[in-house]
Amino acid sequence: MVFTVPSDLSGGLYFLNGKRTTIESTETFDVIEPRIGQVVAKCPKATADIVDQYVKAAADAQSAWGETTALDRGKVLHKVADLIREHAEEIAIWEVKTNGKPIYEARCDIASSADTFDFFGGIATAVLQGDSLELPGGPSQRIAYTRREPYGVVGCIGAWNYPFQTCVWKVAPALAAGNAVVYKPSPFAPASPVLLGEILTAAGVPKGVYNVIQGEQEAGVALCEHNLVAKVSFTGSVASGEAVQRQAATKNVKPVTLELGGKSEIIIFDDSDVKSAVASAMLANFLNQGQVCTNATRVFVQKGILASFTEAIVQEANDKLKVGDPLLEDTRVGANINEGHLQRILGYVESAKQEGGVVLRGGVRVHPTGVEGGAYFEPAIITGLSDEARAVREEIFGAVMLILPFETEEEVIARANNTTYGLAAGVFSG
Ligand code: NAD
């Protein structure tokens, strides 16, 4: 089957039995294209009955897929990788339209998604093996053996910041292991997982093995609670993750994988190379409009290097962070996911100012030419805050860097660890 990238969303945002489709539902949500800030479609929300129908379709298809050899599944996943590479540019444009990130970043996401399918296609045969164990009496009388078996149907729920890649990171390992998937994207970025469905079908993934439902919390709850869903894989906020873990234990007790929020840090000591520290702090704060779970928004800088680091990072941000239409080649900061999220980020900037913060650059809304309707934000660098400030404690999930001076190693380790989150960390020293 030939894969062609569809030109719009008119084929529906659901995916069932190997093709795009839609459902009848009285309730819908608005699909907003972040780049222009406009509603481009209305998408019906899945009810519990629809979730049930999709999970049953996945369960029916899984039996045969789970019986194929890991080698054969690996071959299909390699074909998926090839198709993604063949259509990388068109998929990257879809991703920009789904999420608002700059095209140069979307290209990296799509390239890494192809690599992910190759990786899991390659390890399927090597990893999916069991052990044999000797039992009392010796191997001539008794041995035990273990086998790695698929769970069955895996319920996957994604966030909106890496719509294609997050989906791929869940789907590729699940399919490699012989599972079927029902995927629920974020209603803020629902399109890319449907595109992935078309690629999977074209590569030879059997009908029903991968399915997409749409909706908000209600659809997610129904998926987590469904008794034919044998495992849940979730990416999103800590609050939703806590709920997901509870829901996954209501009707049967399912294993759950949670990838949640963060408030990470980098620590820059006096003997660091300023250029390298600046380059890394830029990456750790401003990629994807700062909408990255591992963002190191708490930038602890030792006092001896504070002045030179601060001057250099503000200069670098002024020189490099061009906010604009994400489809343009030289844009480095695209649109935030939606108006509500932008207002939340602006609220954190305001709270920082009220708590003694000094905004060294950015921190305001902007309206780039040609895409004025989108939720664009000039990345902020803020100093002068204590560790107790709201912006320092809570996940902002936006392009807001906080420079926090320190004197000693003992002090900074204690302050860096003084958080309820834990995702990533970086240290710079000579
Ligand atoms: P969110 O928690 O609001 O929503 C995530 C998904 O969960 C959406 O599809 C949503 O519809 C669904 N959902 C919400 N409540 C649910 C429930 N009770 N049961 C089932 N599904 C439910 O998060 P978001 O705003 O989409 O994403 C941003 C968050 O995700 C940030 O906190 C970010 O740090 C985190 N994130 C983490 C990682 C990681 O790998 N650790 C990666 C990306 C994003």
Chain segment 2-29, per-residue pLDDT in tens: 778 787 888 899 999 999 999 998 899 9
Question: Using the 8-state DSSP alphabet, how is residue 385 labeled?
Answer: -
The structural domains of the chain, with segments of one domain joined by +, span 14-259, 265-428
- DSSP assignment string, 14-78: EEETTEEE----S-EEEEEETTTTEEEEEEEPP-HHHHHHHHHHHHHHHHHHHHS-HHHHHHHHH
Report which residue type is found at 420. T
Distance 62 CA to ligand 1 centre (A): 26
pLDDT tens-digit map of 196-208: 999 999 999 999 9
pLDDT at 5: 78
In this model, does residue 181 exceed pLDDT 80?
Answer: yes
pLDDT at 140: 87
Choosing from 33, 43, 293, 395, the catalytic residue is 293
Map residue 218 onto helix, strand or coil.
Answer: helix
| Residue 251 vs residues 53, 244, 426, 428: alpha-carbon distances, Å | 18, 13, 41, 48
pLDDT at 324: 98
Q: Whose CA is nearest to atom 20 of ligand 1?
A: 220
Distance 213 CA to ligand 1 centre (A): 16
Distance 390 CA to ligand 1 centre (A): 21
Q: Which of 235, 247, 257 to mutate to test the pocket of ligand 1 (most atoms within 8 A of CB)?
A: 235
Atom of ligand 1 nearest to the CA of 236: 30
pLDDT tens-digit map of 286-329: 999 999 999 999 999 999 999 999 999 999 999 999 999 999 99
Cα distance between residue 31 and residue 393, in whole Å: 32
Are the CB atoms for 184 and 29 separated by under 8 Å?
no
**Residue 157, ligand 1, Cβ within 6 A:** yes
pLDDT tens-digit map of 328-368: 999 999 999 999 999 999 999 999 999 999 999 999 999 99
pLDDT tens-digit map of 114-147: 999 999 999 988 888 889 998 988 888 899 999 9
**Residue 247, ligand 1, Cβ within 6 A:** yes
In this model, does residue 51 exceed pLDDT 90?
Answer: yes
Q: Whose CA is nearest to atom 26 of ligand 1?
A: 159
> Which phi and psi (to 5°) does residue 321 adopt?
-85, 80
Q: Whose CA is nearest to atom 4 of ligand 1?
A: 236
Choosing from 90, 216, 218, 259, the catalytic residue is 259
Instruction: Tell me if the domain spanning 265-428 has CATH number 1.20.1050.10.
Output: no
Share of residues in the chain with pLDDT > 90 (%): 92
pLDDT at 1: 63
Distance 236 CA to ligand 1 centre (A): 2
Are the CB atoms for 46 and 25 separated by under 8 Å?
yes
**Residue 215, ligand 1, Cβ within 6 A:** no
Q: Which CATH number fits domain 14-259: 3.40.50.450, 3.40.50.2300, 3.40.605.10, 3.30.420.40?
A: 3.40.605.10
Distance 290 CA to ligand 1 centre (A): 16
Q: Which of 237, 245, 260, 348 to mutate to test the pocket of ligand 1 (most atoms within 8 A of CB)?
A: 237
293 an active-site residue?
A: yes
Q: Which of 168, 192, 240 to mutate to test the pocket of ligand 1 (most atoms within 8 A of CB)?
A: 240
Distance 83 CA to ligand 1 centre (A): 28
CB within 8 Å of 242: residues ≥ 6 apart:
none
Q: How much is the average pLDDT of 71-75?
A: 97
pLDDT tens-digit map of 201-257: 999 999 999 999 999 999 999 999 999 999 999 999 999 999 999 999 998 999 999
Q: Whose CA is nearest to atom 11 of ligand 1?
A: 216
Q: Whose CA is nearest to atom 37 of ligand 1?
A: 260
Share of residues in the chain with pLDDT > 70 (%): 100
Atom of ligand 1 nearest to the CA of 258: 41
pLDDT at 346: 98
Cα distance between residue 277 and residue 294, in whole Å: 17
| Residue 21 vs residues 211, 213, 299, 421: alpha-carbon distances, Å | 10, 10, 46, 39
Q: How much is the average pLDDT of 410-417?
A: 97
**Residue 220, ligand 1, Cβ within 6 A:** yes
Distance 334 CA to ligand 1 centre (A): 21
Q: Which of 43, 98, 116, 157 to mutate to test the pocket of ligand 1 (most atoms within 8 A of CB)?
A: 157
Distance 428 CA to ligand 1 centre (A): 31
259 an active-site residue?
A: yes
